[in-house]
Amino acid sequence: MDEQSLPNFDKALMTTLQEVAGAGIHNAARGFSNLVGHQISVNQPQVKVVPLLEIPRHVGGLENEAIGIYLRAEGDISVQIMLIIPYAKALLLVDLLMDVAPGTTTQLGSLERSALGEVGNMTASFFMNAVANMTGTSVRPTPPAVMVDMVGAILDIIIATSGSISENVILMQANFADGERSLATDFWVIPDALTLKLFKSTEDSARNE
Amino acid sequence: MNDPINVSLGERVISNDPNDILVAYGLGSCLGISMVEPTRRWCGMIHCVLPQRNNGTEVDSPKFVDSGIEGLLKEMVKRGCDPHRLVIRMAGGANMLLASGVSTTFDIGTRNIESALNTFQRLGLNLKAKEVGGNLGRTVRLYVADARMTVRILNGKELEL
């Protein structure tokens, strides 16, 4: 990765984020297992920093149909979390969560939407808990908003609230697995400048100890 | 026909090539604003993200609704277009979180629409048509050949504005 172009994300910070993401997603997988009553495992998530405007390339283009699950974390730090899942993949995720054969879910009614909202809720909560533990801060996520729309329109939420189109965001890729079935999902975490600073100071004090 | 030209976030595209189609894909709270001068056949589109520029900086920047409209108007006039003959249309400005009940404080879509209407009034421009608000994303196309502007929502047909 070209660190020159990403002044806010140095290698040490990336290591910290990788740890936070790893802890958060493993907790989330435990939460999902409890929710659905069968074991769902998750691999070590990959963490990358990518420009905001690259998101559409990962989810199939600006006009592509996708599910957006959006939460904000409020408290000592402020983070936006967005899960963007291509529509077809979201249906498979619902199948996985509901423990039915792949292809069973063909549309997203209110039950399916709330299941997806729960995915966002849990992922965000566990991620935020990991952040809180690591930084000694207190944060809580807002209830999730679930929407089905074009990728571009979903992205506008992040762009409008962060007020910037040149920003870099954190991409976490995790693979949820239930026996032989597995599903790769992408999460986007958009921390504000203050939060990044906090991550940085945590990582600095860890280095000095 | 040329490949469609993507009018990306915070961009302005102006063309008089009849083979061109200007497209802003998946507008959520963003606004797609177009100006067409029928006699000279110049077509321009901006894809605005936020309602207002920051205190006078970023003059004419298409990233903001107010400076974007001013900038597009200036560029059209520079090409010999008569401001009074401009056909102006806009689409977008949805409140993407409307249905969720998360929050209305971040309703950038509505603020973008208000900013556009204020700017049109201030500059003495007439808006011919609009397809704004609601809570669905839209793709907007402007065909330079016949100055048609269309709006399409997810799984929907292209409808003329």
Q: Which CATH number fits domain A3-200: 1.10.3720.10, 3.40.50.360, 3.40.50.980, 3.40.1550.10?
A: 3.40.1550.10
Nearest by CB to B137, from A61, A143, A150: name it: A150
Predicted confidence at residue A208, as pLDDT, reads 57
Please name every residue paired with B159 in a beta bridge, in sequence order, or none if there are none: B151
Mean pLDDT over the full length of chain B: 90
The domain total for chain B is 1
Predicted confidence at residue A5, as pLDDT, reads 40
Residue A90 and residue B152: Cα distance in Å, rounded? Answer: 23
Nearest by CB to B30, from A61, A156, A161: name it: A156
Residues of chain A with pLDDT under 50: 1-7
Q: Judge if pTM exceeds 0.90.
A: no
Question: Which of B132, B154, B157 should one mutate to test binding to chain A, selecting the residue with the greatest count of A CBs within 10 A?
Answer: B154
Q: Residue A204: phi, psi to the nearest 5?
A: -65, -45
Contact call for residues A13 and A203 (beta carbons, < 8 A): yes
Predicted confidence at residue A3, as pLDDT, reads 37
User: Looking at CA atoms only, how far is residue B41 from chain A in angstroms?
Assistant: 28
Contact call for residues A174 and A42 (beta carbons, < 8 A): yes
Predicted confidence at residue A193, as pLDDT, reads 59
pLDDT, tens digit, 9 for 90 and up, residues B46-60: 999 999 887 767 788
CA B139-A65-A174 angle, 5° bins? 135
Contact call for residues B11 and B71 (beta carbons, < 8 A): no
Instruction: Assign residue B61 the CATH number of its domain.
Output: 3.30.1330.200
A138 vs B27, higher pLDDT: B27
B22 vs A49, higher pLDDT: B22
pLDDT, tens digit, 9 for 90 and up, residues B84-100: 999 999 999 998 875 55
Q: H or E element: which one contains A127?
A: helix A110-135
Query: What token pair was written down for B88?
Result: 């102006």
User: Looking at CA atoms only, how far is residue A106 from chain B in angstroms?
Assistant: 15
Domain that includes residue B57, residue range: 5-160
pLDDT, tens digit, 9 for 90 and up, residues B108-147: 899 999 999 999 999 999 999 999 998 899 999 999 999 9
What residue spans define the domains of chain A? 3-200
Give contacts of A116 with chain B, Cβ < 8 Å. none
B125 touches A at CB < 8 Å = no
A114 touches B at CB < 8 Å = no
A150 touches B at CB < 8 Å = yes
Q: H or E element: which one contains A141?
A: strand A139-141
Q: Residue A185: phi, psi to the nearest 5?
A: -130, 155
